[in-house]
A and B are shown apart, each in its own frame.
Chain A
Amino acid sequence: MIDLALDILSWILLTSGGVFVLIGGIGGLRLPNFYTRIHAASLTDTMATLLIFIGIILQAGFTLASLKLFAIMLFLLLTGPTATYALANAALLSGLKPDTGTAKDKTKENAPE
């Protein structure tokens, strides 16, 4: 009974994680400018990683494998947002202005050179 419940829960988590990856992918392709796109892409780093890894850990049960999975999840949760931050920061420093509207990127318009 408890096994079945865990199985159902883990599949719900895995599916919703997959949905988040899909949303991130669509957003990365469809959103108008750079900052909105990395915002969408960062969704796969954080929310999808968390959901998918907890789903797999529930599948693996209380074993050494799930400990390793947990370590990998921690690593991804640390590095993913950092990479996104570094990317956004580098873009800002190279002169790409954040735009709240739906305007497309105008590259190197206000580069500090």
Chain B
Amino acid sequence: MIYIFALFLLTLLVITAIAIVRAEDLFVAVILTSIFSLLMAINFFILDAADVALTEAAVGAGVTTVIFLCALALTGDQEKPQKQGQKVALVIVSILALVIIYSTFDNPQLGDPDAPVHQHVAPWYLEKTPEYMDFPNVVTAILSSFRGYDTLGEVFVVFAACIGVLFILGVSPPRKAMQVSVKKSGLRHHLIPQVVGRLLIPFIVLFGLYTQFHGEYGPGGGFQAGALIATGVILYALLEGEAEALRAVPRRVLLGMVVGGALLYGSVGVVCMLMGGAFLDYSVLAADPVWGQQLGILIIEAGVGMAVCGALLSIFHAFAARERVS
């Protein structure tokens, strides 16, 4: 039964992908991308990857769509017609698709316990997580402790992406654009979305905090929490206007969150070294190694959450602050 549902979803995914490619109105394409992410999130959920599904839903369907729409507000919403080279591209894509489909014949069946991926280190992770960390969510254990270096790298990638976007878009616009009077933006005069939004934002942020601090026991963690809280603030910005959102969470705070999050993660590793362990080996942080692991994971997850939330909001504000260039 679940296979039929998964097949149905994957078919919808292919249809959506083709629709995205064919759409000439970029606005339609952005909305279709959001639908694509949502379908992908459901697919991840069927595959029992609740953590990834949560991230995909919050980032892919939520924040990215808003950032795309902000980018569209700066440029235009029509695709430039492109005539030449379409046949060549089609041929190359078809050949690649055939090669990929052919290569899937050698793949192990879905959920096959003898698949190589289940034979390598995964059993060791599953066996050692209760012993070393004493909490049930193995994904968080792998992400933040066993493979802590990878996650540190990811946080620095988020950091670098944020800095890059700010370098490109954060440049103050030329004098002429500066004189444009600050007009009231947002949906101030739309009472119904505003009331409902005000009702929902606290719950969104609360749910974000819940995923942040419940990440060891259920699906969740820093990435998901950062994205969820960012969505809440972006919703506030859409309803009340960008200036109001900046008044609630100023730019300095956002940059501080990005830098501080990355720094917090790195400094936990350095503290581990100072206390006689290896870099990012949390066992030395407390007298009891299990408590040490849990403390370390809690702190670095907070760092990840801060960095992700700050980066997403900084990128959103960088786009939203630009005047339309026509």
A residues touching B (Cβ–Cβ < 8 Å)? 75, 78-79, 82, 85-86, 89
B274 located at the interface, meaning its Cβ lies under 8 Å from any Cβ of chain A in the complex: no
List of 5 A-B pairs having minimum Cβ-Cβ separation, nearest first: A82-B196, A86-B193, A85-B192, A82-B193, A78-B196
What residues on B are CB-neighbors of A78 within 8 Å? 196, 199-200
10 pairs of residues in contact across A and B, judged by CB atoms under 8 Å: A75-B200, A78-B196, A79-B200, A82-B193, A82-B196, A85-B192, A86-B187, A86-B190, A86-B193, A89-B190
B190 partner residues in chain A, CB cutoff 8 A: 86, 89
Instruction: Write the nearest CB–CB distance from A82 to chain B, whole angstroms.
Output: 4
Chain B residues with CB below 8 A from A86, complex form: 187, 190, 192-193
Bound-complex Cα distance A85 to B190 (A)? 10
Query: In the assembly, what is the distance between CA of A5 and CA of B192, in Å?
Result: 39
Residues of B near A82 (CB, < 8 A) are 192-193, 196
Minimum distance in angstroms from B175 CB to a CB of chain A: 27
Q: In the complex, how many residue pairs between chain A and chain B have their CB atoms under 8 Å apart?
A: 16
State which residues 183-209 of B face A: CB under 8 Å: 187, 190, 192-193, 196, 199-200
- Chain B residue contacts of A89, Cβ below 8 A: 190
Minimal beta-carbon separation of A83 from chain B (angstroms) = 8
> Considering only CB atoms, which chain B residue lies closest to A83 in the complex?
B193
In the complex, A41→B194 CA distance in Å? 22
Output the nearest chain A residue to B194 by Cβ-Cβ distance: A82
With a cutoff of 8 Å between Cβ atoms, the chain B residues found around residue A75 in the complex are 200
Quote the shortest CB–CB distance from A38 to chain B (angstroms): 14
B196: nearest chain-A partner, CB-CB: A82
* CB nearest to B199 among chain A residues: A78
Which A residues are in CB contact (< 8 Å) with B192?
A: 82, 85-86
Give the distance to chain B from A86, nearest Cβ to Cβ, in Å. Answer: 5
With the chains together, A78 CA to B192 CA distance in Å?
Answer: 10
Residues of A within 8 A of B200 (CB): 75, 78-79
CB distance from A4 to the nearest CB of B (A): 23
B139 to chain A, nearest CB (A): 21
Residues from chain A with Cβ under 8 Å of B196 in the complex:
78-79, 82
Further 13 A-B residue pairs, CB within 8 A, beyond A78-B196, A79-B200, A82-B193? A75-B200, A78-B199, A78-B200, A79-B196, A82-B192, A82-B196, A85-B192, A85-B193, A86-B187, A86-B190, A86-B192, A86-B193, A89-B190
Complex interface: chain B residues within 8 A of A85 (CB)? 192-193
Q: Mark B33-45, 1 if CB is under 8 A from A, else 0.
A: 0000000000000
- Quick one: which of B159-195 are within 8 Å of A by CB? 187, 190, 192-193
